[in-house]
């Protein structure tokens, strides 16, 4: 951790399910994921609001939040659909990963129930 990277993250990848046919729900659960790396210093910030929820219920948020997670990591370390978990247990699913010469920037959606 540092001034520029005050958060600590871990990255995990969902396990591939090669079974065919009808199956029970395996879900997006931490138990069904493989850890890629942990203890990585990062910076997490709100990026923008996404689209309005389609249900349009009175209790809905104005839009789905998109988060930007910036860290130093090698090209290909994080891929789309990977999960990033921060030091307080918030989970983010990677929408896109952009590798630059100095840092990797992931745009993510927070996983909420």
Q: Which tens digit of pLDDT belongs to each residue from 54-77?
A: 777 777 666 678 999 999 988 889
Residue 78 lies in a domain: yes
Residue 22 lies in a domain: no
Instruction: Tell me the whole-structure pTM to 2 decimals.
Output: 0.80
Residue 95 lies in a domain: yes
Model confidence band, residue 26 (pLDDT cutoffs 50, 70, 90)? low
Ranges assigned E (strand) in the chain: 7-14, 33-49, 65-71, 83-86, 91-99, 104-110
Q: Domain containing 70: what range?
A: 7-14+28-51+61-110
How far apart CA 72 and CA 3 sit, in angstroms, is 14
Structurally, how many domains does the chain consist of? Answer: 1
Model confidence band, residue 85 (pLDDT cutoffs 50, 70, 90)? very high
Average pLDDT estimate for 75-88 = 94
């Amino acid at each position: 951790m540092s001034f520029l990277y005050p958060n600590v993250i871990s990255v995990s990848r969902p396990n591939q399910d090669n079974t065919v046919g009808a199956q029970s729900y395996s879900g997006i659960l931490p138990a069904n994921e493989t850890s890629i790396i942990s203890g990585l210093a990062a910076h997490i910030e709100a990026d923008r609001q996404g689209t309005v929820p389609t249900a349009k219920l009175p209790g809905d948020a104005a839009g789905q939040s998109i988060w930007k997670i910036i860290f130093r990591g090698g090209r290909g370390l994080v891929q789309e659909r990977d999960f990033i978990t921060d030091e307080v247990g918030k989970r983010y699913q990677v929408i896109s990963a952009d590798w630059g010469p100095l840092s990797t920037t992931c745009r993510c959606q927070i996983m909420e129930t």
